[in-house]
Chains A and B, each alone.
Chain A
Amino acid sequence: MSGDPISALLQDVARQDRAAFRALYVAAGAKLMGTALRILQDRHEAEDAVQEVMTRVWLKAGAFDPARGAGPDPGMGWLVALMRNHAIDRIRARAPLSDDEAAIALAPDPAPRAEAQVIASAQARRIGDCLDRLEPDRAQAVRGAYLDGLSYADLAQRHGVPLNTMRTWLRRSLLRLRECMET
């Protein structure tokens, strides 16, 4: 794990090393903030969420197991998963938006986001390739859920389909993704 500084820092944090905890924030804070901000769309709340997640990292770092993580940087993957889960819990706990607010928040993107075309690393190519084999709108729904924290209801509205249709779309897409990635 020598090429993976985040995992090494997390293991130090698990041993209650406060200097490592600070170094971890220096190394990963911007990624955590980017993740929180993208899902929550509110800087103040994103800061609260990052603070909460870093607190949990201190308390839970012992649960991180680099051997079980995937890819070249399992530590960052673990942190981003914690951050996404907490940010998504926060938006799911929010009161539903009024129809007008929802219409603004969920207006379709004018152009597909750049990352939908460009997924840089070789590691990423696999899920990228498999997403490309889905119908474009279904791949976009999967990306919207993962990257922007959209719910089934958000996705149904954005794609103009009934909720149950969106559920069926996404569930089938997930099984196809799994099949594609296992071959």
Chain B
Amino acid sequence: MTTRPDDDDDDVMAAEYVLGVTDLAARQAAEARARRDPAFAARIAAWEARFAPLNDAIAEAPAPDLMPRIEARLFPIQPARRAPWAWLRGLGPGLVVLGLVAWFMLAPARPELTATLVPQNGGPTWLALLSGQDLVISRMAGRGPGEGRDFELWIIRGDAAPVSLGVMPATGMHLTVTDVTPGTVLAVSLEPKGGSPTGQPTGPILALGPLQKT
């Protein structure tokens, strides 16, 4: 390998990222650069490969069965933990309203709060239902995120900055949220694959709306 000083600087930066010694801002800057600079991404991959044998020194630890939680989050209609309103996902927006009315009349436990996330910037429409700490959000109409991009869900409490609730599968997800009151806003943004690199929305806001009492 040629070792011009600039190369060494880049290589040390990549190694520092892989080791994890820098602060969060420098880590996020390195990740952002790796996304747009394949040569830098290759330096990171090379350092990961150099250090990977040290992984043998990491002892395994008993892991509880987290799969039910993981699957409930990823697959809102997973039969093992099917949300009572999950069937609404399959319906078109017009039928959803009808379905919701029927569901409110029949459901044994109704959601306390709902939100319709209104499209901005030509984005999709989302419906969110909160029951206790269980939030189900489903895409009702509109397109998926497209190649190389992900939807990310945000919660905005009062005047506070948006807090990420995570990258969302294209059809929606089921997750647990706390500290939600009527008026708390949910928003969906379009982000690079894997989610916002900064911890705040970086792409366009596709839809948003407040949670309201049913």
Contacts from A to B (Cβ < 8 Å): 18, 22, 25, 29-35, 37-38, 46-47, 50-52, 54-56, 58-60, 63, 68-71, 76-77, 80-81, 84-85, 88-89, 92-93, 113, 115, 119-121, 123-128, 142-143, 145-147, 149-152, 155, 170-171, 174-175, 177-178, 181-182
Q: Are B24 and A147 in contact (CB under 8 A)?
A: no
- Residue interface bits B69-87, CB-to-A below 8 A is 1, else 0: 1110111000000000000
- Whether A146 touches B53, Cβ cut-off 8 Å, given contacts A30-B60, A34-B58, A182-B1, is no
- Whether A30 touches B62, Cβ cut-off 8 Å, given contacts A18-B75, A89-B27, is yes
Q: Are B53 and A126 in contact (CB under 8 A)?
A: yes
Given the complex of chains A and B, what is the CA–CA distance between A177 and B24 in angstroms? 25
Residues of B within 8 A of A81 (CB): 18, 48, 52
- Whether A152 touches B22, Cβ cut-off 8 Å, given contacts A25-B66, A34-B59, A71-B49, is yes
Query: Which of A76, A145, A177 has the most B CB atoms < 10 Å from its CB?
Result: A145
Is B106's beta carbon under 8 Å from chain A?
no
Q: Are B57 and A55 in contact (CB under 8 A)?
A: no
Q: Give the distance to chain B from A82, nearest Cβ to Cβ, in Å.
A: 10
Interface pairs (27), CB distance under 8 Å: A25-B70, A31-B55, A35-B55, A37-B61, A51-B66, A51-B73, A54-B70, A55-B73, A59-B167, A59-B194, A63-B193, A71-B53, A85-B20, A89-B27, A92-B20, A93-B24, A120-B56, A126-B53, A127-B51, A142-B19, A146-B19, A147-B58, A151-B20, A171-B12, A178-B1, A178-B50, A182-B1
Given the complex of chains A and B, what is the CA–CA distance between A29 and B69 in angstroms? 14
Q: Give the distance to chain A from B27, nearest Cβ to Cβ, in Å.
A: 6
- Residue interface bits B15-50, CB-to-A below 8 A is 1, else 0: 110111111100100000000000000000100111
Is B119's beta carbon under 8 Å from chain A?
no
Q: Are A178 and B11 in contact (CB under 8 A)?
A: yes
Q: Are A60 and B75 in contact (CB under 8 A)?
A: no
Select which of A37, A68, A150, A175 is within 8 A of B12 by beta carbon: A175
Q: Give the distance to chain A from B92, nearest Cβ to Cβ, in Å.
A: 24
Q: How large is the interface on B (under 10, 10 to 19, 20 to 34, 35 or more residues)?
A: 35 or more
Is B109's beta carbon under 8 Å from chain A?
no
Q: Are A30 and B20 in contact (CB under 8 A)?
A: no
Select which of A52, A92, A119, A182 is within 8 A of B56 by beta carbon: A119
Q: Give the distance to chain B from A9, nearest Cβ to Cβ, in Å.
A: 14
Q: Are A146 and B66 in contact (CB under 8 A)?
A: no
Q: Are A124 and B63 in contact (CB under 8 A)?
A: no
Contacts from B to A (Cβ < 8 Å): 1, 8, 11-12, 15-16, 18-24, 27, 45, 48-64, 66-67, 69-71, 73-75, 150, 166-167, 169, 193-194
Residues of A within 8 A of B166 (CB): 52, 55
Q: Give the distance to chain A from B176, nearest Cβ to Cβ, in Å.
A: 11
Residues of B within 8 A of A29 (CB): 63, 66
Residues of A within 8 A of B12 (CB): 171, 174-175
- Whether A146 touches B15, Cβ cut-off 8 Å, given contacts A80-B58, A123-B53, is no
- Whether A151 touches B23, Cβ cut-off 8 Å, given contacts A32-B63, A34-B58, A178-B11, is yes
Select which of A51, A60, A119, A181 is within 8 A of B194 by beta carbon: A60
Given the complex of chains A and B, what is the CA–CA distance between A134 and B152 in angstroms? 44
Q: Are B20 and A88 in contact (CB under 8 A)?
A: yes
